[in-house]
């Protein structure tokens, strides 16, 4: 195996592999960034890793040095062929050709990892499908110790935003239902070949275990959708618009639950979405 991020560009040329923009192909070229991602992930020799989009294997190689097994799902057949050669002498690395949004994730995990193996997701994500991948992973969050991903900095800002700020929104609140999010490291565009148009950041999501929101799942999701439908409206107005058939004074309803009648949805923290969402869900049944 000879995978060195500093040689990413030369490797792509040698393999006659032109990065495809529409597949979000931006390959890491900076060893300190690769090391930073692996350190942030906090993986150890007993762990398994699910990598999404291994590309030319820069991160895959660093992970393989540290963990028991790496299973990497790559959509691009050209890269799959290259990776199979690059990692031919590494039986702990298994390359799976496929679309991560289409693979049967529980089946994949069961096939490759023993039930007692702690599994981490570590990935430099293709940005065009960050959100669907993220929710796909979080749906199966109970299978993962942590999910360490590189995302656009703007998305990272939304993931860690606090209530009442501009970046706080449906994405923040929806992800918070599943996991706690930690910031790791900033990655400049120059750390990739070819450089993306945006700055990037690595974040680490630790799925709640047990989830404090297990009892309010539907209500939480529904209230998040209602609360952020129109950010300029008060929560009471958004509730009125979402439920025109219910003869309820929503301002009074909010006050009865301990909230200001004129509160905006963006002021609600995850615990509020759970408490108020559960009450709303009961009303809707």
Strands 179-187 and 200-207: antiparallel
Say whether residue 87 binds ligand SAM (CB under 6 A).
Answer: no
Is 243 annotated as ligand-binding? no
Which of the 8 DSSP states describes residue 229?
T
In the complex, the smallest distance separating the C-beta of residue 141 from ligand SAM, rounded to whole angstroms, is: 19
271 has binding-site annotation = no
- CA torsion, ordered 205, 211, 216, 220, to nearest 10 deg: -10
For ligand SAM, the binding residue among 4, 9, 15, 23 (CB under 6 A) is 23
Beta bridge partners of 261: none
Which stretch in 17-25, 157-165, 181-189, 250-258 sits in contact with ligand SAM by CB under 6 A? Answer: 17-25
Residue 77: CB minimum distance to ligand SAM, A: 10
Annotated binding-site residue? 142: no
Cβ atoms 149, 123 nearer than 8 A: yes
Site for ligand SAM in 48-77 (CB under 6 A): 52-56, 58-59, 73-76
The encoded tokens of residue 49 equal 């890793």
Asked if residue 89 belongs to a known ligand binding site, the reply is no
d(CA 177, CA 172): 9
**Residues 255, 22: Cα–Cα separation, whole Å:** 49
Identify residues 106-145 at the interface with ligand SAM (CB under 6 A).
124, 126, 129
Least Å from the CB of residue 171 to ligand SAM? 19
Question: How far is 207 from 171, CA to CA, in rounded Å?
Answer: 15
The nearest distance, CB 96 to ligand SAM, in angstroms, is 9
Query: Residues annotated in the binding site for S-adenosyl-L-methionine, as ranges?
Result: 26, 28, 53, 74, 99, 124
């Amino acid at each position: 195996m000879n995978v060195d991020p500093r040689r990413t560009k030369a490797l792509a040329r040698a393999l006659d592999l032109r990065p495809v923009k529409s597949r979000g192909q931006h390959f890491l070229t900076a060893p300190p960034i690769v090391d930073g991602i692996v350190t942030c992930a906090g993986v150890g020799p007993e762990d398994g890793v699910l990598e999404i989009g291994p590309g030319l294997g820069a991160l895959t190689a660093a992970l393989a040095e540290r963990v028991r097994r790496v299973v990497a799902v790559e959509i691009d057949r050209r890269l799959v062929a290259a990776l199979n050669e690059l990692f031919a002498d590494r039986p702990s690395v298994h390359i799976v050709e496929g679309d991560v949004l289409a693979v049967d994730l529980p089946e994949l995990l069961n096939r490759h990892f023993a039930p007692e193996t702690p599994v981490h997701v570590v990935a430099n994500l293709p940005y065009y499908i960050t959100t669907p991948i993220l929710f796909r992973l979080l749906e199966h969050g109970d299978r993962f110790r942590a999910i360490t991903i590189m995302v656009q900095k703007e998305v990272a800002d939304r993931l860690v935003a606090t209530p009442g700020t501009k970046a706080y929104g449906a994405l923040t609140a929806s992800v918070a239902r599943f996991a706690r999010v930690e910031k790791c490291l900033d990655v400049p565009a120059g750390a990739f070949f070819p450089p993306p148009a945006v700055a990037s950041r690595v974040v680490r999501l630790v799925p709640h275990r047990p989830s404090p929101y297990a009892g309010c799942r539907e209500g939480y999701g529904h209230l998040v959708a209602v609360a952020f439908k129109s950010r300029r409206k008060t929560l009471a107005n958004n509730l009125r618009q979402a439920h025109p058939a219910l003869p309820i004074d929503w301002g009074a309803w909010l006050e009865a639950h301990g909230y200001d009648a004129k509160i905006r949805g963006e002021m609600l923290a995850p615990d509020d979405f759970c408490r108020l969402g559960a009450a709303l869900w009961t009303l809707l049944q």
